[in-house]
């Protein structure tokens, strides 16, 4: 995920990263959870880089935490929200000390 974000920052000519800056496999695989059902996400994702910059690790940790909250701690659903395999998602949980 960190590499994807770094690539998007490099490819982006403005301060807004859109789905056009992301690999198609991630854009197509993006999903959201609504009323306990997994549904395709709205593909109009954008992100403004703050003027003072940001930490990719902090951003990734926040995304992992939000995915867990939205999925009610269901790791498989949280991984799908981020377009990750369950194994990759578990690695991120360990990396950021979010393992229960």
Residue 17 lies in a domain: yes
What CATH number is attached to the domain comprising 41?
Answer: 1.10.10
The total domain count for the chain is 1
Q: What's the pLDDT score for residue 30?
A: 52
- Assess if residue 23 is contained within a domain: yes
Residue 28's pLDDT is: 63
Could you tell me if residue 100 is inside a domain? Answer: no
Integer Cα distance of 98 and 7 in angstroms:
26
Residues of the domain holding 37 = 2-95
Indicate whether 81 belongs to any domain.
Answer: yes
Q: Which residues of the chain register pLDDT less than 50?
A: 32-39
């Amino acid at each position: 995920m960190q590499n994807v974000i770094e690539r998007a920052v490099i490819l982006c000519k403005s301060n807004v990263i859109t789905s056009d800056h992301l690999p198609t496999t991630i854009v197509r695989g993006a999903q959201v959870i609504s009323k306990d059902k997994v549904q395709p996400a709205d593909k109009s994702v954008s992100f403004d880089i703050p003027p003072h910059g940001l930490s990719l690790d902090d951003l990734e940790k926040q995304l992992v935490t939000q995915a867990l909250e939205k999925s009610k701690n269901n790791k498989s659903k949280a991984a799908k929200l981020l377009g990750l395999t369950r194994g990759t998602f578990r690695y991120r949980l360990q990396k950021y000390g979010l393992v229960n």
